[in-house]
Amino acid sequence: MYHQISFIKQALFDIEEAVLWYEKQREGLSFDFELCLDAGLAEISRNPDSFQKKYKEIRILFISRFPYGIHYVVRNSEIIVIAVFHTSRMPKNWKNRL
């Protein structure tokens, strides 16, 4: 069973920022990032409860090949992505997004 995923506006900005940065590093690298991000989102959609809660109700899936985590909450049967952050960023930057 797949669950619906929605994004808060700031999470979409996180993704856009990462995509732009990777494309500046090497042409086509942003496409690789997006593929890995999509694979992570698909995994979350299939099994949203299989990832450990890291901060209260917030769960994190770390995507492959890139040092980014998808931070999300599960409310009822909906998955809400609140951040897509580089692992070196401070957690306090996204904790107030809920």
Give me the sheet containing 78-86, strands edge to edge: 4-7, 78-86, 68-75, 58-62, 53-55
Mean pLDDT of the chain: 92
Q: What is the pLDDT of residue 84?
A: 96
Q: What is the pLDDT of residue 11?
A: 97
Q: What is the pLDDT of residue 94?
A: 65
Strand-pair partners of 74: 79
| Topology of domain 4-95, CATH | YaeB-like fold (3.30.2310)
- The 10s digit of each residue's pLDDT in 22-33 is 999 999 999 999
Q: Are 79 and 61 in contact (CB under 8 A)?
A: no
pLDDT of 39 over the 80 cut: yes
Q: What is the pLDDT of residue 91?
A: 67
- Ranges of each domain in the chain: 4-95
Cα–Cα dist 71/11, whole Å:
9
> Which tokens sit at 30?
């942003």
Q: Whats the size of the chain, residue-wise? A: 98
- The 10s digit of each residue's pLDDT in 45-89 is 999 999 989 888 999 999 999 999 999 999 988 999 999 999 998
Q: Which candidate, 55, 15, 21, places its Cα nearest to that of 35?
A: 15
